[in-house]
Amino acid sequence: MYFKKIIPVIGISLLAMFKQVSAQDDTHQIIKLWPEGVPGVKSNSDPEVHDKNGGISNVAVPTLTVYKANTDQANGTAVIVCPGGGYSHLAFVKEGVVPAKWFVSHGVTAFVLKYRLKEYGHPAPLQDVLRAIRLVRSRVKEFNIKEDRIGVLGFSAGGHLAASSGTLFDSPEGKTGASLDSISARPNFLMLLYPVITLRNPYAHKGSGISLLGLNPTDEMVHHLSLDEQVSSSTPPTFIVQTEEDKTVPVENSILFYQALRKSGIKSELHLYANGPHGFAMNPNLGTTSEWPDRLVSWMDSYGWLKQAQ
Amino acid sequence: MKTNLTHFFKYLSAYFLVSLVSLCIGNAKEGLVIPLWPEGVPGAHLKASPERYEAGRYYNIQNPTLTYFAGDSSKSCDTAIILCPGGGYVRLAVSTDGGGSVGWMNKMGISVFILKYRLGDYGQPAPLRDVLRAVRLVRSRAKEFNINPNKIGLFGGSAGGHLAACAGTMYNDPEGKTGAAIDAVDAKPSFLILQYPVITMQDPYVHKGSRNALLGKDPSEEMKKRYSTELNVTQDTPPTFIFATLEDVSVPMENSILFYRALRKNKVPAELHIFEKGAHGFGFGKNLGSTSQWPVICESWLKANGWVPKS
């Protein structure tokens, strides 16, 4: 009797361990964002959780996992990839590792960002993404990339984080007094996939808002993190993809950001498809929606980012 | 002098048609010009200025027609597209909107009918009447052209996009009917493809030239609303593919967004692509960065929806 109960438990644990390896692939370099100590660290936090679908939650030690472009293909462009998960977990494989490998196949060096979530709330995720950009930019020689070719891509809540980096890059919240603070945290381009943009009704994604700001945020904070309200003339060029069918994050989020970019004179491209539920990521079976990576290649190509840097 | 000029334009139009006909030897109907109103153009102006064709543009349309361009018959495609050229309802820019696009569609196997519709010298409802009659006519003669009556789409650029969007939203409008037997045929297009379309007749995103030509200098609020196509979308509006650019300073891309949002609200499947480069009227223009990819993207959409065979 006892064995019958314990065997499945062992099986599940083994499976979990196996998946943990695939989410945290140890053939790739992992860089801690805050070697000097994570700002605002909580001393008695629970351990990080890795689920069977390649997801991660309860992040306490933010990192970048490096997917280096092959030397003969590398074009000098880098992308920091922010997985989504409503700021409560990270779809680390589906919206991190998989797109990172796709970038590598196009000569782009990718960094998958593991950022802090609802256990910390705002400003921890913003601190993490801005530190990530500063860190990558401070080590361009080591990664064989150019400091003016660093993009940030994000899915869903990761899209909110990416859009935060493109609008709040100078925010004092991103600085901790470290010498790295002097390096620009402004991304050179943004790529937003079914992004969370606004925290205001009726188009807000409630879960993301609660994870970031709690149940009763001030209007000031809602304004601060409703990113269509933060676009300025220094927001970088942006590429946006979203579907009409998305029931989790309304397509209006993409439209709001696009219209704000347009108002500020920022060049951008918007692709809104019909089919595909929220979180389609790189699913190849969604008709024309699955062609978004081709659109991204065309867009990056039109800026010369996929050609060898001079 | 005037007679000489008329002769000259007649010669030009004839030359234009002959060259089109000579392009295709395989289809006897190629270049066929079909008058929309064989029984007489409704509301025809008796003392109208003569129709003329100049540098790829038609003016003063009096006799609305469809001109047929056969699709590549080896593609076994039974779809037809009625092409509505743009020109702010004051002219028809056949060379920019018609040229490359017709060849591209024919190559996929699509039969193309270029619509020559009436313009500002008539104003509303003449263009709407013409486009709805065009859909009825093509649908009623589907067999003759080897097309499927359920696969008749509209492609419109600029003001032609407005006209296509009108057809997609006002297909049952009584003004489209004249008491002819053909009124009984369904005028609803099967799909819409809108290139930098004029959509709204309301400020601030209205294209004033199109509004002046279609509705007059000082239209009533009621007329503005009637021809603001974003206000007429329902769940029965056909699937729509829209594309525009940020660089368009004539017709703001917000027109495209307005129509997309209305489609989305009514759960009509739609795609919207907004690119960076390309001035208004870029047509089939090359070297516009990612914008020049639009035919590839649109072809995928046509294939995904079964209007063009997959391989």
Q: pLDDT tens digits, residue range A209-244? A: 999 999 999 999 999 999 999 999 999 999 999 999
CA atoms of B260 and B200, how far apart (whole Å): 12
Let me know if residue B62 belongs to a domain.
Answer: yes
Whether B290 sits inside 8 A of A274 (CB atoms) is: no
| Residue A16 clears pLDDT 60, i.e. is over it | no
Let me know if residue B234 belongs to a domain.
Answer: yes
Whether A46 and chain B come into contact, CB under 8 Å, resolves to no
Q: Which two tokens stand for residue B42?
A: 């409704």
Letter string b/e over residues B214-248, b meaning 16 or more CB atoms within 10 A of that residue's CB: bbeeebeeebbebbbbbbbbeeebbbbbbbbbbbb
Q: Report ipTM for this prediction.
A: 0.89
Q: How many contacts, defined by CB atoms under 8 Å, are there between A and B?
A: 65
Q: pLDDT of B148-193, one tens digit each?
A: 999 999 999 999 999 999 999 999 999 999 999 999 999 999 999 9
| Residues 236-275 in A contacting B (C-alpha not used; CB under 8 Å) | 244, 251-252, 255, 258-259, 262, 267-275
Closest by Cα among B151, B166, B161 to B243: B161
Candidates B272, B290, B301; nearest CB to A299? B290
Per cent of chain B over pLDDT 70 is: 89
Whether A302 sits inside 8 A of B289 (CB atoms) is: yes
Enumerate the residues of chain B whose CB falls inside 8 A of the CB of residue A271. 271-274
| Residue A115 clears pLDDT 50, i.e. is over it | yes
Whether A28 and chain B come into contact, CB under 8 Å, resolves to no
Tell me which chain B residue has its CA closest to the CA of residue A261.
Answer: B246
Tell me what the mean pLDDT of segment A64-88 comes to: 97
H or E stretch including B260? helix B254-265
Q: pLDDT of A186-207, one tens digit each?
A: 999 999 999 999 999 999 999 9
Question: Which domain CATH number covers B159?
Answer: 3.40.50.1820
Q: Cis bond leading into B174, ω under 30°?
A: no
Backbone angles phi, psi at A52, to 5 degrees: -70, -10
DSSP secondary structure code for residue B292 in this structure: G
Q: Domain range for residue B73?
A: 2-304
DSSP secondary structure code for residue B247 in this structure: T
Residue B151 to residues B72, B80, B117, B190, Cα–Cα distance (Å): 16, 6, 21, 6
- The minimum CA-CA distance between A259 and chain B, rounded to whole Å, is 8
pLDDT for B286 equals 83
pLDDT for B4 equals 47
- The minimum CA-CA distance between B104 and chain A, rounded to whole Å, is 19
Whether A298 sits inside 8 A of B257 (CB atoms) is: no
CA atoms of A259 and A266, how far apart (whole Å): 10
Report the SS3 class of residue B122. coil
Whether B290 sits inside 8 A of A273 (CB atoms) is: no
> pTM to 2 decimals?
0.90
Contact between B213 and B88 (Cβ < 8 Å): yes
pLDDT for A26 equals 58
Tell me which chain A residue has its CA closest to the CA of residue B265.
Answer: A244
Whether A273 sits inside 8 A of B261 (CB atoms) is: no
Q: pLDDT of A168-191, one tens digit each?
A: 999 999 999 999 999 999 999 999
Let me know if residue B134 belongs to a domain.
Answer: yes
Q: What is the mean pLDDT of chain B?
A: 90
Tell me what the mean pLDDT of segment A150-169 comes to: 98
Enumerate the residues of chain A whose CB falls inside 8 A of the CB of residue B306. none
- The minimum CA-CA distance between B303 and chain A, rounded to whole Å, is 9
Q: Which residue has the higher pLDDT, A272 or A43?
A: A272
Residue that is written with structure tokens 């914008």 in the block: B291
Let me know if residue B310 belongs to a domain.
Answer: no
Tell me which chain B residue has its CA closest to the CA of residue A271.
Answer: B273
Enumerate the residues of chain A whose CB falls inside 8 A of the CB of residue B261. 252, 255
CA atoms of B8 and B2, how far apart (whole Å): 10
CA atoms of A127 and A112, how far apart (whole Å): 16
Strands across the sheet containing B92-93: B52-54, B57-59, B92-93
| Residue B15 clears pLDDT 60, i.e. is over it | no
Phi-psi map region of A28: left, alpha, beta (phi>0 left; psi -120 to 50 alpha): beta
Q: What is the mean pLDDT of chain A?
A: 93
A2-302 falls under which CATH superfamily? Answer: Alpha/Beta hydrolase fold, catalytic domain (3.40.50.1820)
Whether A267 sits inside 8 A of B289 (CB atoms) is: no
Candidates B260, B273, B304; nearest CB to A287? B304
Tell me what the mean pLDDT of segment B258-280 comes to: 97
CA atoms of B244 and B161, how far apart (whole Å): 11
Whether B272 sits inside 8 A of A271 (CB atoms) is: yes
Residue B55 binned pLDDT confidence (cut-offs 50, 70, 90): confident
Candidates A255, A267, A301; nearest CB to B257? A255
pLDDT for A21 equals 42
Candidates B253, B260, B300; nearest CB to A272? B260
Enumerate the residues of chain B whose CB falls inside 8 A of the CB of residue A244. 263-264, 269-270
Whether B276 sits inside 8 A of A244 (CB atoms) is: no
Q: Give chain B's domain count.
A: 1
Q: Which two tokens stand for residue A228?
A: 């269509």
* Of A5-9, A73-77, B139-143, B245-249, the least confident: A5-9
Candidates B253, B264, B300; nearest CB to A291? B300
| Other CB atoms within 10 Å distance of the CB of residue A100 | 25
DSSP secondary structure code for residue B147 in this structure: -
Residue B1: Cβ-neighbour burial (10 angstroms; 0-12, 13-18, 19+): exposed
Candidates A267, A273, A288; nearest CB to B246? A267
Rg (chain B; Cα; Å):
18
Q: Which two tokens stand for residue B92?
A: 């028809």
